[in-house]
Amino acid sequence: MAINIHIMNSEEKLLQDISVIAQRLKELHNDAVTAYTPQVQELCAKKATANEVGWMLDLLFSFAGDDRILKLYKQVCRTYWQIYPETIAFYIMEYRKEYDRESLIGTEYEYLLHEDEIGEDE
């Protein structure tokens, strides 16, 4: 019986730890939205350089699984796609490879789904 209590306590502790981590991730995403929203608005209101656009998209990329950050990511892409088409195309493809892999299936870019496997085979 003592073993069962110990196991339940361990499971409860694990669930508690996971809950704390999830809450911290949620807070981190909220902080990212708060911090990056005005930066994106400022960037999109001026004629930024390709480096500034790429830098902002790099910052947003890690959080792009969050719909609020994805909205900011898309705002930057839509603002600058005609000015820096190569840069924007790169970041759109990176987004698709990381967050929307299914969108590559059946396209000329499907091979990108297997990029990681190529290095493992060698």
- Divide the 122 residues of the chain into consecutive groups of 10 and give the mean pLDDT of each group: 60 86 92 96 97 97 93 97 96 90 79 66 49
Report the pLDDT value the prediction gives residue 57, as an integer from 0 to 100: 97
For residue 51, give its domain range: 36-121
6 inside domain: no
DSSP-derived letter for residue 103 is G
The predicted pLDDT at position 113 comes to 73
Determine the Cα–Cα distance for residues 78 and 40; give it in Å rounded to an integer.
Answer: 12
pLDDT for res 24 = 92
Say how many domains are in the chain: 1
Residue 81 domain flag = yes
* Residue 60 located in a structural domain: yes
The per-residue pLDDT for 37 is 97
In this prediction, residue 27 carries a pLDDT of: 95
Domain assignment present for residue 63? The answer is: yes
116 found inside a domain? yes
Residue 11 belongs to some domain of the structure = no
**Residue 12 resides in a domain:** no
Q: What is the dihedral of CA 15, 20, 21, 24, to 10 degrees?
A: 160
Contact present, 39 and 56 (Cβ < 8 Å): yes
pLDDT score for 16: 87
Within 2-122, strands assigned E span none
- Burial zone of 102 (CB within 10 Å; 0-12 exposed, 13-18 middle, 19+ buried): exposed
